[in-house]
């Protein structure tokens, strides 16, 4: 189990303090194979370079350790912390994402109870708390944000052209270790 609201609040505070915007916090996997995934972005670029990911990862790790020492575990058991940029075909998690990426292809999965669980087509934008999408099969569909389980952009030439060139700063400095080296550490 994990205290996701408290964890998200803590992570968002660390991201904001460093000048980043939190895109998503997700805990996935089971047992010792769990990953706490944090996606954040630099509002100036819409991405995070390796150095920024490392800085945010260290800040989050230290903050979680401090809170767990004082209040108890936020996440029961072991997990791997992963901090990354949302990427080009990013998840749409915030209301502003639906407005900012209007005109691009998206996939939307709805919560159970809808006749059509999956929508795919051009994102038409956001009006209040309702997302509009021009689904390839159904035409225009309006969906309340609260009914969206998850959504993400689809990688297209148009999206690539609209996205700022990725900054690969620091990527060539990453050193990968083998499983044997990890065990010895």
Task: Give the pLDDT confidence of 117-156 residue by residue, as tens digits.
Answer: 999 999 999 999 999 999 999 999 999 999 999 999 999 9
- Other CB atoms within 10 Å distance of the CB of residue 163: 17
Instruction: List every span in the chain annotated with CATH 2.30.30.180.
Output: 95-162
| Predicted confidence (pLDDT) at residue 177 exceeds the cutoff of 60 | no
| Measured distance CA(105)–CA(122) in Å, rounded | 4
**Residue 3 structure tokens:** 């205290």
Task: Decide if 81 contacts 148 (C-beta within 8 A).
Answer: no
pLDDT in tens, 70-91: 998 888 888 999 999 999 999 9
Q: Taking the CA of residue 165 as centre, how many other CA atoms within 13 Å lie in the half-sphere pointing to its CB? A: 3
DSSP structural state of residue 125 = E
Pairing mode, if any, of strands 148-153 and 139-144?
Answer: unpaired
pLDDT at 182: 46
| Residue 13 reports pLDDT greater than 70 | yes
Domain with CATH 3.30.300.70 in the chain: 4-87
Residue in 48, 22, 26 with CA at minimum distance from that of residue 35: 26
pLDDT of residue 113: 85
CATH topology of domain 95-162: SH3 type barrels. (2.30.30)
CA 160 to chain centre: 19
The class of domain 4-87 in CATH terms is alpha beta
Q: Is the pLDDT of residue 39 over 70?
A: yes
Nearest to 106 by CA among 158, 144, 147: 158
């Amino acid at each position: 189990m994990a205290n996701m609201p408290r964890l998200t609040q803590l992570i968002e505070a660390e991201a904001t303090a460093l000048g980043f915007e939190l895109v998503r916090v997700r805990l996935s996997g089971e047992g010792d194979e769990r990953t706490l995934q944090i996606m954040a972005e630099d509002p100036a670029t819409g991405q995070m370079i390796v150095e920024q990911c490392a800085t945010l990862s260290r800040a989050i790790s230290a903050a979680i350790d401090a809170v767990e020492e004082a209040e108890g575990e936020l996440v029961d058991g072991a997990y791997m912390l992963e901090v990354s940029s949302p990427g080009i075909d990013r998840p749409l998690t915030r209301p502003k994402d639906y407005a900012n990426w209007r005109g691009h292809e998206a996939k939307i999965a709805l919560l159970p109870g809808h006749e059509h669980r999956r929508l795919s087509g051009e994102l038409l934008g956001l009006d209040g708390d309702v997302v509009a999408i021009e689904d390839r099969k159904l035409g225009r569909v309006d969906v309340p944000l609260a009914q969206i389980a998850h959504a993400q952009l689809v990688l297209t030439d148009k999206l690539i052209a609209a996205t700022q060139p990725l900054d690969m700063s620091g990527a060539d400095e990453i050193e990968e270790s083998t499983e044997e080296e990890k065990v010895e550490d």
